[in-house]
Amino acid sequence: MKQTFLKFITYFTISSFAYFLFLVVEVLRLYYEEFGFDVFNTVTVSFISIDAVINFGIFISFILTTSHLLKNQYSLGKIFTTGIIISVVFGGFIFFLSNNIVPDTRVKSFLNRYENAKRELLSSIEKEEKTKYMKTRLVRTMPIDLIEKLSDSLSKKNKEQMKIVSDLALKIPDSILQYDLYLNDIQKYGMVKKKKTPLFNERDLQILKYEISRNETIEKQNRKAKWEVNKRYVNAVLSLFLMCFGIVLGGNFKKQKFFLLVCVGVVVYSQVLRMLTLMTDYFVNRKNFLSMVVGIAIILIVFVFFSLRLMIKKDKV
């Protein structure tokens, strides 16, 4: 176990630092005109992605650690046991950072960028007001307990808004609703086949459209809040999956060169990041469902394939 841990720490430090350095360079390139050569702002923005940095380090280091130790006839079971302990610890650390440190870092980053845009420093009162606003309105700058309170409030508003829309729909004939509104909205709010008043006011139809649009905004905000909570848990649990995946790949490619192992890890991890992006797009915007399912399926199929291949190779030995 000690040997596995020491190898892991060595590879983890190198790979995590390399990925963080890549982020720093990328942020510097993207925001050079805004920040200039500002090390503090660059590092602050890069630190926001610390969960991705840690998970990348876990993944790459377990590929390299497993490959190196198996060449020396080290037990795969011992590597896996140590990996579970390490991934659980790092998963908890990721969750702590994403729920406590990263939200505050986002606030500081926003305030710094705001000051750069205005070309003047904010007063302490202005900073306090803007911080308070972000801590109560922007889910990415809030801890989970505040996000859940916001989500409950949005759910309550959503129910109230649904009733407003339903009541307005009673004032408009079905034929008008079916002509002017989307079928999905009609079905969602159950607007047709209800008792209607014989009178029709064009203003009621415009108000109805506005209230539907307003409710869609509330629902999207609520989806965003719920996904922000789930994403923090997903990133924490992802460390366990990446540990397993890293061991599986390291076991399958133990005879390959160091550079090839890193390249394989980078390619696979880029697909994991793409999967997380597609998940965000679906759970927040209700888009790319098929792409998300296909992306998850591909990653799982590759993982299962190499897991079975490793088990077969181990049985033959």
Domain shared by 69 and 10, yes or no? yes
**Same domain? 10 vs 124:** yes
Which pLDDT score is estimated for 2?
Answer: 73
DSSP 8-state assignment for residue 144: H
| 107 and 240 share one domain | yes
**pLDDT, position 110:** 87
Q: Confidence band (pLDDT; 50, 70, 90) for 314?
A: low
Does 218 or 112 have the greater pLDDT score?
Answer: 218
Residue 163 shares a structural domain with residue 311: no
187 and 152 belong to one structural domain: yes
**Contacts by residues 193-199 (CB-CB < 8 Å, ≥ 24 positions apart):** 194/169, 194/170, 195/170, 196/170, 196/171, 196/172, 197/170, 197/171, 199/171
pLDDT one-digit tens code per residue, 41-63: 888 889 999 999 999 999 999 99
**CB count, 10 Å around CB of 138?**
16
Domain boundary among 189, 219, 249: 219
Judgement on whether residues 227 and 202 belong to the same structural domain of the protein: no
Domain count, the chain: 2
Q: Among 198, 219, 240, where does a domain finish?
A: 219
| Percent helix / strand / coil, the chain, rounded to 5 | 85, 0, 15
Range of the domain at 189: 147-219
Average pLDDT over residues 253-276: 92
Q: What contacts 24+ positions apart, CB below 8 Å, involve 113-117?
A: 113/34, 113/35, 113/41, 116/34, 116/35, 116/38, 116/41, 117/34
pLDDT at residue 11, rounded to an integer: 92
Residue 253: closest CA among 61, 81, 64: 64
Same domain for 139 and 151, yes or no, is: no
Does 210 share its domain with 227?
no
User: Same domain, yes or no, for 90 and 115?
Assistant: yes
Instruction: Report residue 167 as tokens.
Output: 């009541």
Kindly report, residue by residue over 9-28, the tens digit of the pLDDT. Answer: 999 999 999 999 999 988 88
CA distance 227 to 283: 6
Domain boundary among 175, 197, 219: 219
In this structure, the answer to whether residues 171 and 213 fall within a common structural domain is yes
303: number of Cβ within 10 Å: 16
